[in-house]
A = this chain, B = another copy of it.
Amino acid sequence: MAGEDRVLAGGAKYIDFQTEPSRYRHWKLAVDGEIATLTMDVDETGGLFEGYQLKLNSYDLGVDIELADAVQRLRFEHPGVKVVVLRSGKNRVFCAGANIRMLAGATHAHKVNFCKFTNETRNGLEDSSANSGQRFITVVNGTAAGGGYELALATDHIILADDGAAAVALPELPLLAVLPGTGGLTRVVDKRKVRRDRADYFCTIEEGIKGKRAVQWRLVDEIVPNSKLEAKVSERARQFAAASKRDGNGSGISLTPLKRNFDDNGVRYGLVSVDIDRAQRIATISIKAPDAPPPNDIDGVITQGASFWPLQVARELDDAILHLRINELETAMLVFKSHGDRANVLACDALLEANKSHWLVNEIRQYWKRVLKRIDVTSRTLVTLIEPGSCFAGTLAELVFAADRSYMLIGQKQGDNRAPPAIELTPMNFGPYPMSHGLTRLQSRFQADVSDLDRAREKIGEALDAEQAEQLGLVTFALDDIDWDDEIRVFLEERTSFSPDGLTGMEANLRFVGPETMESKIFSRLTAWQNWIFQRPNAVGENGALLRYGTGQKPQFDMTRV
């Protein structure tokens, strides 16, 4: 499923995004007061698939899943950590980037999904720095090439050993005929603001840049002789810690293992369930409201920890999306549903709003933001159905606004005595969950007339029925019971008959109305071009650079410039 001729290592049936430090094969996480050290020490034999070795601290998706887990745990389990030092456990090598053998043998879909996840993880580092006060320092003790340097680029401060050998490099183009596509091109010019012609030079040389020029060109922040490296790292870590606003005194909460049940037709979590109709190629994701109101105060939230409803749902939803993305490639569409007591959902939102300055609540809000962003860049048609018994309120209503289309039932269904469905807005729909391009989903929705946003805001706290919601522009279509089944059925059938590629391109364009940010540029300008290159014979053909790399044979290029 995930590789052309590849099977997952160890007899695994699917790629699992859940892990924990005790199971890491490639990273070591050590916490010492305010400073954590995250050491990359990739196990060559620990590849996710069979058929390649992860030499020179090169990585595959499995390595990145551990990194994402570590970053997540640093936020929730280590509120006292203000600085994370990212470094290599290998001698004279920082990281050689994405493993080339892995890439050469991966399906197009796996390449694209791999890059998407690594991009999300690197954006996550920056999010942690910006919104949790956890600053990242990278210590480049040897070669940081390609994805290795791209990882460093996602951190706040890059220290390069000044030993005549350590260097940063983006050699993808000359070596592999692909782009530094995990944010590299974008971050070099947009984040580190390397002059574009220097960036051009840098991205076309294999050997990279070291020493003073690396600093002068803004590729790294400082160079330090090996003899003084450890002292400098400690000094910088202390400085960054002193400047951090992170205020997570006390202990964190434990991100306990998710309870999941995989079967042939989906996954069942505690609060989220995924039902896959393979014939229709539709996955229905249902979210259950809390059975009871949330705790009264923050101490109660801390006591609930990972089972606090908003956090548990976010974790389950995140895992479900990742699972579907990479393991269920023929699923055309995600249909979001919800059920349960809307009042309890609203009470959770109220708690999240009232305690937003508390570190844990902040983390939960930031996490929801990231999960929703992950949904935004998921290449599946997103549909939300608002039916009797549903509870799309506040945070959950973002799934209505994230959807490519939403349908809401007018009134009741015949033979169903549940009340007509309602949606309800909360302050969570008006700020804390911006999309990657910086606008909230409602801002994106109401570009034509900003007063529509004000009209919606005035309805905070009111249960809105289908006709009100449609009139306010909050749902795509309101349908009564007579039309509901037929219209939905026809829509689903038609949608799933379209070209998956065409839909991916269309949705990626229509979802991001208005401005672009560095983050959104990575998913649009950079990723779209990389995906194009990942289809071109010059990169992926039999005589292309990816397959020829390391064979001693030069790639043969069609020299047509397109």
Contacts and interface: CB of A to CB of B under 8 A. Distances in A.
Interface of A: 108-109, 112-113, 172-174, 177-179, 185-186, 188-190, 193-201, 203-204, 218, 281, 329-332, 379-380, 403-406, 444-448, 473, 476, 494-495, 498-516, 521, 524-526, 528-533, 535-536, 538-539, 545, 555, 557-562
A446 B193 CA distance: 8
A188 B513 CA distance: 10
A281 B558 CA distance: 13
Given A201-B476, A380-B561, A516 B513 contact: no
Given A177-B498, A504-B562, 19 more contacts: A109-B560, A173-B499, A173-B502, A179-B505, A188-B510, A196-B444, A197-B405, A197-B476, A499-B538, A500-B559, A500-B560, A500-B562, A501-B533, A508-B525, A509-B526, A515-B516, A516-B516, A528-B529, A532-B532
B195 A445 contact: yes
19 contacts: A173-B499, A185-B506, A194-B448, A196-B510, A196-B511, A197-B405, A200-B404, A200-B507, A200-B510, A204-B494, A379-B561, A500-B562, A501-B532, A505-B530, A509-B526, A509-B529, A524-B525, A529-B531, A535-B536
Nearest to A544: B499
Contacts of A559: 281, 330, 332, 500
A194 B513 CA distance: 10
Contacts of A331: 561
Contacts of A112: 562
Residue among A198, A532, A539 with max Cβ neighbours from chain B (10 Å): A532
A16 to B, nearest CB: 20
Nearest to A218: B448
Nearest to A324: B561
A509 B526 CA distance: 6
Contacts of A174: 494, 498
B506 A203 contact: yes
Contacts of A515: 515-516
A190 B514 contact: yes
Contacts of A194: 448
Given A506-B185, A528-B524, A405 B201 contact: yes
B502 A178 contact: yes
Given A109-B562, A516-B525, A524-B525, A502 B177 contact: yes
A373 to B, nearest CB: 16
A199 B509 CA distance: 10
Nearest to A1: B560
A193 B536 contact: no
A173 B506 contact: yes
A183 B100 CA distance: 36
A406 B197 contact: yes
The 10 closest A-B CB pairs, nearest first, are A528-B528, A177-B499, A193-B448, A524-B525, A505-B529, A516-B516, A535-B535, A185-B509, A197-B476, A532-B532
Contacts of A178: 502
A476 B198 contact: yes
A332 to B, nearest CB: 6
Contacts of A539: 499, 501-502
Nearest to A512: B525
A368 to B, nearest CB: 21
Contact of A189 (B379, B447, B536): B447
Nearest to A176: B502
A189 B558 CA distance: 37
User: Quick one: which of A530, A536, A561 has the most chain B CB within 10 A?
Assistant: A561
A407 to B, nearest CB: 10
Residue picked from A188, A528, A538, most chain B C-beta under 10 Å: A528
A383 to B, nearest CB: 10
A445 B545 CA distance: 31
B528 A525 contact: yes
Contacts of A379: 561-562
Given A173-B506, A447-B193, A525-B516, A498 B204 contact: yes
A201 B185 CA distance: 34
Contacts of A113: 562
Contacts of A446: 195
A545 to B, nearest CB: 6
B529 A473 contact: no
Given A179-B506, A498-B173, A532-B501, A513 B561 contact: no
Contact of A560 (B201, B203, B330, B404): B330
Contact of A177 (B190, B195, B501): B501
Contacts of A197: 403-406, 445, 476
B199 A510 contact: yes
A501 to B, nearest CB: 4
Contacts of A508: 525, 529
A404 B448 CA distance: 38
Nearest to A328: B561
Contacts of A504: 529, 561-562
A531 to B, nearest CB: 5
Given A109-B560, A204-B498, A516 B521 contact: yes
A405 B186 CA distance: 18
